Amino acid sequence: MNKLGERLSELKRRHRKAFIAFVTAGDPTIQHTLDIAGILDEAGADVIELGLPFSDPIADGQTIQKAGERSLARGMNTDKYFRITETLSRKYDVPLVCLTYYNVILQYGVERFAESCRTFGVSGVIVPDVPVEESGELSKACGRNNVNLIFLVSETTTPERMDRILEKASGFVYVVALLGTTGARDTLSEKLGALVRRVKRKTKLPVAVGFGISKPEHAKKVIGYGADAVIVGSAIVKIIEENISNKRRMLDRIKSFAAAMRRACG
């Protein structure tokens, strides 16, 4: 069991739900990322999902796409990303999960990427554009390095395909709360509760819900459906975007928002 598994198991023993916070590495600078991660840890984030940006992010909405563009414009790359995770993993106990795209991993080298995750403090990897049917090489590399490969399921996932995904999944199962790309929403899908319950019946892994979760009331509703964790990304990235010129205000607002989301998770 790695750091992610230990944290989620600890929360389960304490009958608490996890708050997973997403930010894009290097947005708007590496130092901002280090400071934001520290604030998220202080505010009670149980896991930090750290995006490794890619030029064509098919699952990301406009807010996170812009964050990736800002980061890439500043020269973010895979080597710099792992220097960030190494720094954070040495300074904080919060588990780190990488969200990226398969082109980035292929260019870096699949085995090398998994080894770097293990070496530099990344417990899990989410790769939205790798279908379970084509995940064999990455899955084996992650397994050899005690890194969780985390898969996504949605309301359009067939029962047969969900079974294949859950057979290979580790760490937690990422339930997509809405169809389309990431981004803050006012309301959640009416089908989400049934989907969460369907996944829970099929796996003992923690079930985390993301995409569109942007308010404490969203988190409370998702937890009420039986989810074990709530993933919040675009709402945090939007705070970064709106306060790029004032770092102190940015950090204060992220801390306040993250603390509210943590409380909502119970």
- pLDDT tens profile 208-259: 999 889 899 999 999 999 999 999 999 999 999 999 999 999 999 999 999 9
Strand-pair category, 173-176 with 47-51: unpaired
Give residue for tokens 């790798």: 130
pTM: 0.94
- pLDDT tens profile 163-178: 999 999 999 999 998 6
Structure tokens at 194: 């049934």
Whether 129 and 102 have beta carbons less than 8 Å apart is answered as: yes
Give residue for tokens 């569109």: 212
- pLDDT value, residue 190: 73
- pLDDT value, residue 187: 58
Pick the CATH number of 3-265 from 3.40.50.970, 3.20.20.70, 3.20.10.10, 3.10.310.70: 3.20.20.70
Q: What positions carry a catalytic annotation?
A: 49, 60
CA distances from 187 to 54, 126, 214, 222 (A): 28, 25, 9, 12
**What backbone torsions phi and psi does residue 4 show, to the nearest 5 degrees?**
-65, -45
Q: Amino acid letter at 229?
A: A
Band (pLDDT 50/70/90 cuts) for residue 59 is low
Cis peptide before 53 (omega within 30 of 0): no
Contacts of 141 (CB under 8 A, 6+ apart): 110, 111, 113, 114, 115
Q: Is 70 exceeded by the pLDDT of residue 182?
A: no
